[in-house]
Amino acid sequence: MKKNDVIFLITAFAIILLDQITKYYINSYMSVGDSSPVIPGFFNIAHVRNPGAAFGIFSRSPEIFRTVFLITVTTAALILILYYVRMNRERDTLMNLALSLIFGGAIGNLIDRIRFGEVIDFLDFYVGPHHWPAYNVADSAISTGAVLLLVTLIWKRRGKDG
C-alpha cells in the first residue's frame, strides 16, 4: 500500500469516527430542538435534524424520492472518488487530503441517512437573529475538502499556464 493510500484511509477514517462520535453524543444527550449556548450571540450546540441535503435542499421532497436520490448520489460520488484514487497514484498531498476529507464526510452523512433517514446537525453559528444552517463534522470535512480540491485544481492549472 502506498503512502498516499495510507494517508487517505487514515484521514477518511478519522473524519468518520469523529463525525459519528459527535453525532452519537448529540443524539444521546440532547433532544431534537434543544440548544445550548457556547458563545452567546454567536455559537450554539443544537440538536437539529436535516432530512435534505446541504442547506436543506430536497427537505420538502417526498421522503422516498429524497432518500433514494441522496443515497444514490452519495454512493456514486464515493465510487468516483475511489476510482480516481485508485487510477491516479501520482496525486499530490493536498489533492489526497481534499479527497479523503470529502470521502470521510460523505460516508459520515451517509451513515446517518441510512440509519435515521436524515442527518444529525449540531453546529449552530449565528449573529443576532440570522442563523447559518446548522451543520456537523462531516459537512465541515466536505466543505474543507471541496475548498482544498478547488485550490489544488487552480494551482495545477496555473502551473500549466504559467
Residue 139 annotated in active site: yes
Number of domains the chain is built from: 1
Give tens-digit pLDDT for 39-95. Answer: 999 999 999 999 877 766 777 777 788 888 899 999 999 999 999 998 887 778 899
Active-site position among 19, 112, 124, 139: 139
Active-site position among 19, 112, 121, 124: 121
2 pLDDT more than 90: no
Task: State the pLDDT at residue 67.
Answer: 85
Kindly list the distances between the CA atom of residue 51 and the CA atoms of 7, 43, 66, 134, in Å, as whole numbers in the listed order.
32, 22, 8, 12
139 pLDDT more than 60: yes
- Contact, 138 vs 131, CB < 8 A? no
CA distance 141 to 26: 18
- Domain assignment of residue 68, given as a range: 3-161
162 pLDDT more than 60: no
Neighbours of 62 (CB within 10 A): 10
Neighbours of 104 (CB within 10 A): 26
119 pLDDT more than 90: yes
Task: State the pLDDT at residue 31.
Answer: 97
Q: Which residue did the predictor score with more confidence, 139 or 5?
A: 139
- Mean predicted confidence (pLDDT) in 127-146: 94
Give tens-digit pLDDT for 13-51. Answer: 999 999 999 999 999 999 999 999 999 999 999 999 998
161 pLDDT more than 70: no
Q: Which residue did the predictor score with more confidence, 56 or 129?
A: 129
Task: State the pLDDT at residue 73.
Answer: 94
Residue 19 annotated in active site: no
